[in-house]
Amino acid sequence: MNSGETYAKLIKAEAKRLGFISCGISKAEFLEQEAPRLEAWLKKEMHGEMKFMENHFDKRLDPTKLVEGSKSVISLLLNYFPSSFQKDEEAPKISKYAYGTDYHFVIKDKLKQLLNFISEEIGEVHGRAFVDSAPVLDKAWAAKSGLGWIGKNSNLLTQQVGSFYFIAELIVDLDLEYDTPVTDHCGTCTACIDACPTQAIVEPYVVDGSKCISYFTIELKEEIPSSFKNTFDNWMFGCDVCQDVCPWNRFSKPHNEPLFNPKPELLEMTKKDWEEITQEVFSKVFQKSAVKRTKFSGLQRNIDFLKG
């Protein structure tokens, strides 16, 4: 066994110990196939008001421009599928990933531990941890690392656990044994395309971000266009429709990360509770939550929009 193989095994074992459900490794190099796709997507303005998507085009496609001397991209998946859900079926809905503590904090902490482990066990290794907060094409790297395939809803899918997980990376200056991509198992299924309430999946594998409910309820800071009235399927923060209908998510199992458990009152809140929510309740229920991104005023705007 060569050192790259030995180190890869060590890293994967530690990732598992830290609670990640999968770990895959790929060579840090230019993403040739992604470049024209990203360029076309931006040209069609499918990123809407998310102007940050236009920045750092080169870095998005080439990790060696992001982390000097990098040789490997270690991709990791962390399950967030909950064991219990919002009780009132008429209440405005929150995407399952935002039930508990903001994933940025939870995963950053685990990545730091993994990076420290690598330095202690292997020697001086330089690298950076990324959790959805830098110009890194998470899904492309996870697919390249053999952790799943990009589905028709543009999410990473796996046969074993579906798609309810976060993706994160360590980009390091260490040569490792690389994994190979898996094949696409979407077949002729169009469940996600047919179910999307705002028809944001404009063709298989292409999502118009500017039509996505998650975009409207989280990223868009202005008023939501009135032309989308009554198409939100009652989502006030994010949207899980294309994942909920995906046949591969039949295999989703509840996570075992205590920090992702929601505050009990979040699940108990009724439609009336949400419509009458105060700043005080918002601050308490979403103390360390990703929902804070919308701020109280943003969530209120979304709830009012659902009221019609």
Q: Measuring CA to CA, which residue among 50, 195, 36, 167 is closest to residue 111? A: 167
In a domain, 181, yes or no: no
Task: Pick the range with the lowest mean pLDDT from 1-5, 18-22, 71-75, 84-88.
Answer: 1-5
163 and 232, same domain (yes or no): no
The SS3 assignment for 94 reads strand
14 and 137, same domain (yes or no): yes
101-152 residue pLDDT tens? 999 999 999 999 999 999 999 999 999 999 987 889 999 999 999 999 999 9
Task: Tell me which of 132, 208, 244, 304 is the catalytic residue.
Answer: 132
In a domain, 184, yes or no: no
Name the pLDDT band for 262 (thresholds 50, 70, 90). Answer: very high
64 and 105, same domain (yes or no): yes
C-alpha dist (Å) from residue 67 to 2, 60, 172, 271, 280? 25, 11, 8, 47, 42
Percent of residues in the chain assigned helix, strand, coil, to nearest 5:
45, 15, 45
13 and 144, same domain (yes or no): yes
Letter string b/e over residues 8-29, b meaning 16 or more CB atoms within 10 A of that residue's CB: beebbebbeebebbbbbbbebe
In a domain, 22, yes or no: yes
Q: Which residue has the tokens 């990933």?
A: 97
Two tokens at 52?
A: 């940050």
Q: What angle do CA 140, 144, 145 make, to 5 degrees?
A: 115
In a domain, 301, yes or no: yes
In a domain, 179, yes or no: no
21-56 residue pLDDT tens? 999 999 999 999 999 999 999 999 999 999 889 888
168 and 195, same domain (yes or no): no
pLDDT in the model for residue 308? 67
18 and 147, same domain (yes or no): yes
Two tokens at 116?
A: 């420290």
In a domain, 185, yes or no: no
Please give the mean pLDDT across all residues of the chain: 96
Residue where a domain terminates, one of 140, 172, 204: 172
The SS3 assignment for 257 reads coil
Residue where a domain terminates, one of 145, 172, 199: 172
161 and 274, same domain (yes or no): no
227 and 119, same domain (yes or no): no
39 and 108, same domain (yes or no): yes
22 and 162, same domain (yes or no): yes
Report pTM.
Answer: 0.96
Domain count, the chain: 2
Residue where a domain terminates, one of 172, 199, 228: 172
Active site residue 132: yes
222 and 154, same domain (yes or no): no
pLDDT at 194 exceeding the cut of 80: yes
**What is the spatial distance between Cα 238 and Cα 126, in angstroms, rounded to a whole number?**
35
**What is the spatial distance between Cα 28 and Cα 62, in angstroms, rounded to a whole number?**
7
Tell me what percent of the residues of the chain surpass a pLDDT of 90.
95
Query: Cβ distance 145 to 63 under 8 Å?
Result: no
Backbone angles phi, psi at 62, to 5 degrees: -140, 100
**Full domain range(s) for residue 64:** 3-86+95-172
63-79 residue pLDDT tens? 999 999 999 999 999 99
In a domain, 294, yes or no: yes
Q: Which residues contact 266 (CB under 8 A, 6 or more apart)?
A: 86, 94, 99, 285
200 and 143, same domain (yes or no): no
In a domain, 180, yes or no: no
